[in-house]
Amino acid sequence: MTTLPQTTEKKLGLVIDLDICVGCQACATSCKEWNTGGYSAPLSDHDPYGGDPSGAWLNRIHSYELGEGAAGRTVHFPRSCLHCEEPACVTVCPTGASYKREEDGIVLVNPDTCIGCKLCSWACPYGAREYDYDDGVMKKCTLCVDRIYNETLEEEDRVPACVRACPTGARAFGDLGDPDSEVSKNVAAREGFNLLEEFGYKPTNKYLPPRMKTSAHVSPEPARKSAPVSAGNGSMVEKLFAWADQKLSR
Amino acid sequence: MHPAYSVILFTTASGAGYGLLFWMALAETFGVLPGGRALSLAALTFSLALITLGLLASTLHLGRPERAIGALSQWRTSWLSREGVAAVATYVPAGLLGLSWLIYLHNDLFHLVAALAAAGAAITVYCTGMIYGSLRTIRQWNTPLVPLFYLAAAASTGALLFGLIYSLFGYSTPLLEFLLLCLVAVSGAVKLTYWRQCDADKGQYTAEMATGLGAWGKVRPLDPPHTMPNFVMREMGYQVGRKHAQKLRRLVVLFLFAGPMLALALSALTGAGVFFWYLLAFLMTVVGIVTERWLFFAEAEHVSMLYYGAERA
Ligand code: SF4
Ligand code: SF4
C-alpha cells in the first residue's frame, strides 16, 4: 500500500557523525557485500573492473570542502535512504511495491511487485534509490531489515552492516522515535540535524555536525630563518662560503 | 532529467490519440460529427491505435513490463496509477461508441457514452501531466502549467489530426480552421508562459541546505563517491541538451506553433488545397511536439543533483 502510515510504532534509523567519519568507504563496501546477498539481492554491477564501472549501491560516500582558507575544512558525507516520515517515493508508486512499514518506519521496495518504472527515484530529493538494470527493479537501503531482527546472528551483529563495519564509530543505529534511546540522546546533545529540512519529507536519519574549530590560542611560529645558501658546485670554496653563511645566520 | 524515447513516444502519440478521440466524442455528444459511420469508425480506430501504440511504448521503459497490471492498484495516491486506470476505463465508452457506429445502434444513450469517452480522454491526459506536475523534486515540472500544457498539446495535436482526416474526405470549413488556429495559439501561449516562469525560477534549494553544512561556508564537492556516473547521475543529472536549449525552443515555436498557425490561416483564407495545408501543419507539428517533449525532460533539473555539485535546484 502506498498510503503512508499515520504514525509508526518505532522510527528506526541511523545517526551519522560528520565529525568522525573519515570517508574510508568501509560502510559502503560492507553494505554492498551484505545486500547483494540479502533482502534486495542481487545488486548488479556493470563493467566492474573496466573503464566505465557502474552498479547499484545503497550507500554513497561524498567528500565536500566547506568554507575558505584557515576556516575551511573537509567533510566526508555518507548518503543513503533516510527512511523519511512523509516521503513521496512511497505515494507515487503505482504498484504499492514501495512502502513504509507501520511497525518500525523502514521504507522498503517489494522486489516481487516492483515494475521498475523508476518514478520513486524521481520523487526522492536525496538521490537515495538506485535502479538495478539487470534485475529490472528499484533498489534502496533496507536498514538491513534482514539483520536487525535476525535471531540466527549474534546479538552484536543485529545492526545494519554499515554500522557494524564503521571503524571509527561514526554510525549509530536505533529508535529515533524514543527520546530516551542512545541515538536520540546523542542527537539532542550534539544538535543533530535533518538533510534538506526545508523540503519537508521529515527524514528519520540524523546527521551530527562537524565540531567548530576551537579558538584556543595557538603559539606563533618561531621567527623564520632564511634558507642556508646551498653548497653550489660542491668545490671547497663553495663549501667554505656555505659554512660561513650558516655560522653567520645563527 | 534523462529523456526516455519510449516516454516521448508515449506522451506524444497517446496525447494526439486522446485529443482526436476527445474532439470526435465531443462532436458526437452534440450530434455534429460530420461524415458517415465508416469515416467515424475509421477515425476512431485510428485514435485508439495511436493511444494503444503509446501505452505499449510506455511499458517499454519498465524494468518488468510483465507485471504492469499491478500499476492499476494504487490510484488512491499515485498519479501514474490513476493514469493507468483512466486509460483502461476510457476504452469502454470509446469501444461502445465504435460499436454503436458499427451496428448502427443509435439512441440518446449514445450521446452520454460519447460524453464519457470525451471525459475519459481528458482525464487520462490530465493524469499524465500530473505524474510530472506533482513531483516537487523538479521545479520545472512542479507547476499547474505542466498538466495544462499536456491538455493543450493533446487538444491541439488531436484537433489537427481531426482536421487532417476529415479534410481528406472533403469535410472542412474555414470556421474549423480558424478555431484550430486559436487552439494552437493558446497552447503556444501556455508554453511561452511556462518557459518564462522556468527561466525566472533559479531554484529555492541549495547545496548548503542539502548537506546541512551552510554554517561552515560554501559547500563544494571534493571527491565524488564513485569514479563514473551512477544511475542517479545518468537519470537525474542529464545535461546533454541544456546548451542547445535556446535553439531547440525556437525550433518548437516555429514548428509547433507559428508554422501550423500560418498553414491554417492560409488554408482558411485561400480555401484551396485544404488537405495539403493540414498535412503541412500536421507534419510540422510532429517535429515540434517531439522536440518539445524532449526539451521538457532535458531542461528539467532534479534536487538530488545538489549532492553532485549543483549549487541550486
Ligand atoms: S530518502 Fe528518498 S528513498 Fe528514502 S524515504 Fe526519503 S524520499 Fe524515500
Ligand atoms: S520503480 Fe518499483 S518501487 Fe519505484 S515507483 Fe516504480 S513500481 Fe514502485
Over residues A182-210, the mean pLDDT reads: 98
The answer to whether B73 contacts chain A (CB < 8 Å) is yes
Tens digit of each residue's pLDDT (9 = 90 or more) over A140-191: 999 999 999 999 999 999 999 999 999 999 999 999 999 999 999 999 999 9
In the DSSP assignment, the letter for residue A225 is P
Chain A residues closer than 8 Å to B134 by CB: 88, 92
Using CB atoms, pick whichever of A2, A60, A67 lies closest to residue B216: A67
Question: Which of B222, B234, B236, B302 to probe by mutation at the A interface, max A CB count within 10 Å?
Answer: B222
Higher per-residue confidence, A138 vs B238: A138
Q: What is the pLDDT of residue B196?
A: 97
Q: What is the pLDDT of residue A2?
A: 78
To the nearest whole number, what is the mean pLDDT of chain B? 95
What b-and-e string marks burial along B244-269, b requiring 16 or more CB atoms within 10 Å of the CB? Answer: eeeebbebbbbbbbbbbbbbbebbbe
Q: What is the pLDDT of residue B54?
A: 95
Q: What is the pLDDT of residue A228?
A: 47
Q: Which CATH class is domain B5-308?
A: mainly alpha
Chain A residues closer than 8 Å to B58 by CB: none
Say yes or no to pLDDT of B159 above 50.
Answer: yes
Chain B residues closer than 8 Å to A18 by CB: 213
What CA–CA distance (Å, rounded) separates B209 from B203? 12
Q: What are phi and psi of B51, to 5 degrees?
A: -60, -50
Say yes or no to pLDDT of A222 above 60.
Answer: no
In the DSSP assignment, the letter for residue B256 is I
B282 Cβ contact list (under 8 Å, min separation 6): B160, B161, B164, B260
| Residue whose C-alpha is closest to residue A208's, from A188, A222, A235, A227 | A188
Q: Which three cell numbers stand for residue B193?
A: 508562459
Domains of chain B by residue range: 5-308
Over residues B216-236, the mean pLDDT reads: 95
Say yes or no to pLDDT of B203 above 90.
Answer: yes
Over residues B86-105, the mean pLDDT reads: 93
Over residues B43-65, the mean pLDDT reads: 95
Q: What is the ipTM of this complex?
A: 0.94
Classify B125 as helix, strand or coil: helix
Q: What is the pLDDT of residue A3?
A: 86
Q: Report CB contact under 8 Å: B71, A115.
A: yes
Q: Cell numbers 621567527 correspond to what residue?
A: A223
Using CB atoms, pick whichever of A28, A62, A135 lies closest to residue B221: A62
Cα-Cα end-to-end distance for chain A: 81
The answer to whether A4 touches A33, Cβ cutoff 8 Å, is no
The answer to whether A183 touches A175, Cβ cutoff 8 Å, is yes
Q: What is the pLDDT of residue A244?
A: 72
Using CB atoms, pick whichever of A90, A114, A129 lies closest to residue B64: A114
Q: At what angle do helices B79-102 and B109-133 cross, to 10 degrees?
A: 160
Bond into A42 cis (ω within 30): yes
Q: Report CB contact under 8 Å: A114, B227.
A: no
What CA–CA distance (Å, rounded) separates B42 from A123? 41
CATH number attached to the domain at A12-208: 3.30.70.20
Q: Which of residues 223-262 of B touch A (CB under 8 A)?
A: 223-232, 235-236
Q: What is the pLDDT of residue A71?
A: 83
In the reported structure, the alpha carbon of residue A116 is separated from the centroid of ligand 2 by a whole-number distance in angstroms of 5
The answer to whether B221 contacts chain A (CB < 8 Å) is yes
Q: Report CB contact under 8 Å: A96, B74.
A: yes
To the nearest whole number, what is the mean pLDDT of chain A? 91
Pairing assessment for the beta strands A45-46 and A54-55 based on DSSP bridges = antiparallel
Tens digit of each residue's pLDDT (9 = 90 or more) over A235-249: 776 777 677 777 776
Q: Which residue CA neighbors atom 2 of ligand 1 most closely?
A: A124
The answer to whether A1 contacts chain B (CB < 8 Å) is yes
Bond into B229 cis (ω within 30): no
